[in-house]
């Protein structure tokens, strides 16, 4: 019994002191200005604030959360314009390859009415 308790205690202590890896990603977009902001590699509690603040810093006045994930992987952001000249965004997060993330981001941008879509940003959150 003592041996089992000691093993369990040591296991819990080891888990408590192992550095935690952060894989949360989030993207905010402002439809009023077309600004966006993203963050990755932060804790769940920090990533939303970091992404929101990034959107504000790039000119956003009313950022809205577009998407987030807790999955590690590649991320891509595609931009285009709609028929009225407004910026449209497509986002892919947590993909196993960069090419898959780019393809999905472009596809999403076009599905939301974006013409002339191009990849604006990419990252790897591994």
pLDDT one-digit tens code per residue, 53-110 = 999 999 999 999 999 999 999 999 999 999 999 999 999 999 999 999 999 999 999 9
Q: What is the Cα–Cα distance from 106 to 98, expressed in whole angstroms?
A: 12
Q: What is the mean pLDDT of residues 25-30?
A: 97
Q: What is the Cα–Cα distance from 56 to 26, expressed in whole angstroms?
A: 14
φ, ψ (nearest 5 deg) of residue 16: -70, -30
Residue 31: CA count within 13 A, CB half-sphere? 6
Q: What is the Cα–Cα distance from 59 to 3, expressed in whole angstroms?
A: 60
Tokens of 106: 């472009």
Tokens of 104: 């999905």
Arithmetic mean of pLDDT over the chain: 85
Tokens of 92: 């892919």
36-42 sheet: strands from edge to edge:
36-42, 24-29, 64-69
CB 104 within 8 Å of CB 93 = no
């Amino acid at each position: 019994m003592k041996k089992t308790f000691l093993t369990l205690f040591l296991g819990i202590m080891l888990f408590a002191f192992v550095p935690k890896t952060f894989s949360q990603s989030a993207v905010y977009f402002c439809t009023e200005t077309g600004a966006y902001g993203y963050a990755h590699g932060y804790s769940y509690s920090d990533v939303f604030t970091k992404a929101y603040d990034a959107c504000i810093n790039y000119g956003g006045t009313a950022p809205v959360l577009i998407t987030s994930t807790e999955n590690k992987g590649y991320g891509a952001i595609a931009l285009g314009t709609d028929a009225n000249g407004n910026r449209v965004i497509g986002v892919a997060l947590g993909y196993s390859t960069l090419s898959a993330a780019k393809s999905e981001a472009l596809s999403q941008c076009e599905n939301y009415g974006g013409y002339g879509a191009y990849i604006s940003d990419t990252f790897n959150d591994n």
